[in-house]
């Protein structure tokens, strides 16, 4: 029997993209938003189907961030920002909140070496008195793509070849050659900081833009930043090969051993804030995750400190079953129209329901420490003992009521339904500035890594030309150096 004879006709025969039901997809690059900047509309069926299918591609390992290590501790407020947010756990200096933190690599499998060049996850779960707050981020302050519609494609390109199961540069540079917005992220990933020495010597960033809401309802866009008190340290290629060849779990062991020895890792939390009324003052879109907010214009404000002083008790329960979702917020912290964040609000919780089950928030590591009450009954692996007779709302037999109202952003939304990119792309300025900030030897190592990536035998002349054009627009001398070493002509 020819197994391909019975392959569904929609799998390969259509000359254009379709949904699983065969409907034509006229735009596979942009989410459906209100206006060009958002927010994203849940009625974008293709987006939801694409993310939902992607979230269920692998079981039981995480699709991304499979390799990770966790630890517990506390967050302590050191500076008063109560004028910016009514979040209870940030109410005043001295307030402490228990936390659990998970560090991870992103692309590679659960048993992969922790010395591979890859972004690192930095996720913090705050067990506050008003429920949990998940601050889900990375060690870099920017991201590869700005619209979650492209997230599954991006991960596919970074993951191993589905035919050979080998990660290959030609796939990576091919995909990102269509997305010049990725240049800024590559100035981090292909930089010397692309392989952190371990998790303790690594910065963290919330990446996405959230919104802080004050008691009076005033909103400010916010970005979160973690700075390690012990400094940032990274591995060059030779060091990574040596360490990875002797211990593929070196970062996990370093975290565990440091805490066991009483050498508790610590980070300072800083924020940057922008008044939404001022967002048009910049030459970039503040909600674009491929951009940083210049610190000389938008300075870092200290907030508190994070201390990890207790190792987890069980790796499976508190690392493998630990689940983070950017959608889990508390009063005083809300989302923005950041297109990547808008899609992550759905995708992360959806993938956890698939991987761990619909009741994953009942697992001890994920459950809130605060009291909670709802009518979410039954389902797979529901182990909460309940004996109530009323499982609906409202009821005169159950005194439960609505909580006190808290403010959320109330900006007026106006725009057409449309699939489009933002107006202020400005893809080349910040990557060029970052490259020029490198010392000459650091620039040389960055160039060598790009030469290696573009020298893959399956990378075509066209793709090399595109990348030389991109890097030339970021920095003319960088484009010239790449072209010279690849025996090509620089182009703009």
Q: 153-173 pLDDT, tens per residue?
A: 999 999 999 999 999 999 999
State the pLDDT at residue 9.
Answer: 46
- In angstroms, the CA 463 to CA 471 distance is 12
- Closest listed residue to residue 271, CA positions, set 480, 424, 79, 75: 79
* Domain boundaries defined on the chain: 1-27+40-57, 68-167+194-362, 438-486
Q: Which parts are annotated binding residues for heme? A: 348
Q: Cα separation of 28 and 15, whole Å?
A: 14
Residue among 326, 329, 323 at smallest CA distance from 342? 326
59: pLDDT confidence band, cut at 50, 70 and 90? low
Q: What are phi and psi of 131, to 5 degrees?
A: 105, 180
By annotation, the residues acting in catalysis are 65, 138
User: CATH number of the domain at 68-167+194-362, please?
Assistant: 2.40.180.10
Mean pLDDT of the chain: 92
- Cα(445)–Cα(119) distance, integer angstroms: 18
What pLDDT is recorded for position 128? 94
**Contact residues for 22 (Cβ-Cβ < 8 A; gap 6+):** 10, 14
Condensed to tens digits (0 to 9), the pLDDT of residues 388-424 reads 888 888 889 988 888 888 888 888 888 999 999 999 9
pTM above 0.95, yes or no: no
Q: What angle do CA 422, 423, 425 make, to 5 degrees?
A: 80
Write the DSSP symbol of residue 216: T
Is the Cα dihedral 149, 154, 157, 162 positive or negative? negative
| Better-scored residue on pLDDT, 405 or 318 | 318
Task: Decide: 231 and 202 in contact? Cβ < 8 Å.
Answer: no
Alpha helices in 91-182 (DSSP H): 151-158, 169-176
Residue in 284, 328, 295, 132 with CA at minimum distance from that of residue 225? 295
Binding residues: 348
Q: How confident is the model over 244-258, as a mean pLDDT?
A: 97
Of all helices (H) and strands (E), which one includes residue 397? none
What are the start-end ranges of the E strands in 139-239?
A: 204-205, 210-213, 219-228
pLDDT reported for residue 25: 82
Structure letter (DSSP) for residue 362: G
């Amino acid at each position: 029997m020819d197994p391909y004879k019975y392959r569904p006709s929609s799998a390969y025969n259509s000359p254009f993209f379709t949904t699983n039901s065969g409907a034509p997809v006229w735009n596979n690059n942009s989410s459906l938003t209100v206006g060009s900047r958002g927010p994203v509309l849940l009625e974008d069926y293709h987006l939801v189907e694409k993310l939902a299918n992607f979230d269920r591609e692998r079981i039981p390992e995480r699709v991304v961030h499979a390799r990770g290590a966790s630890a517990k501790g506390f967050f302590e407020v050191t500076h008063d920002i109560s004028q910016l947010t009514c979040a209870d756990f940030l109410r005043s200096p001295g307030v402490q909140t228990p936390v659990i933190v998970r560090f991870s690599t992103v692309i590679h499998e659960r048993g992969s070496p922790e010395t591979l060049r890859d972004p690192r996850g930095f996720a913090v779960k705050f067990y506050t008195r008003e429920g949990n707050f998940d601050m889900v981020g990375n060690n870099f302050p920017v991201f590869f793509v700005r619209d979650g519609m492209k997230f599954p494609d991006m991960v596919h390109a970074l993951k191993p070849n589905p035919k050979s199961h080998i990660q290959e540069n030609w796939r990576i540079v091919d995909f990102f050659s269509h997305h010049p917005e990725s240049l800024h992220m590559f100035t981090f990933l292909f930089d010397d900081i692309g392989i952190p020495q371990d998790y303790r010597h690594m910065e963290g960033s919330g990446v996405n833009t959230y919104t802080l809401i004050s008691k009076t309802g005033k909103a400010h866009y916010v970005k979160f930043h973690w700075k390690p008190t012990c400094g940032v340290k990274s591995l060059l290629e030779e060091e990574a090969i040596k360490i990875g060849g002797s211990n593929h779990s070196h970062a996990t062991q370093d975290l565990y051993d440091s805490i066991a020895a009483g050498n508790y890792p610590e980070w300072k939390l800083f924020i940057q804030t922008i008044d939404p009324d001022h967002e048009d003052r910049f030459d970039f879109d503040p909600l674009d995750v491929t951009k940083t907010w210049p610190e000389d214009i938008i300075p870092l404000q200290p907030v508190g400190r994070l201390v990890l002083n207790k190792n987890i008790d069980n790796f499976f329960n508190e690392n493998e079953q630990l689940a983070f979702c950017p959608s889990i917020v508390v009063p005083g912290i809300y989302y923005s129209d950041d297109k990547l964040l808008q899609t992550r609000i759905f995708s992360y919780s959806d993938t956890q329901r698939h991987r761990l089950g619909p009741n994953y928030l009942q697992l001890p590591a994920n459950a809130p420490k605060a009291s909670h009450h709802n009518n979410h009954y039954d389902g797979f692996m529901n182990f909460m003992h309940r004996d109530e007779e009323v499982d609906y709302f409202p009821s005169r037999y159950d005194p439960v009521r609505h909580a006190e109202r808290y403010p959320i952003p109330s900006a007026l939304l106006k725009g057409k339904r449309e699939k489009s990119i933002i107006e202020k792309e400005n893809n080349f300025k910040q990557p060029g500035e970052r490259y020029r900030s490198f010392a000459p030897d650091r620039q040389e190592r960055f160039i060598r890594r790009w030469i290696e990536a573009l020298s893959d035998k399956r990378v075509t002349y066209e793709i090399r030309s595109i990348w030389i054009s991109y890097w030339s627009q970021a920095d003319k001398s960088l484009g010239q150096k790449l072209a010279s070493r690849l025996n090509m002509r620089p182009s703009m």
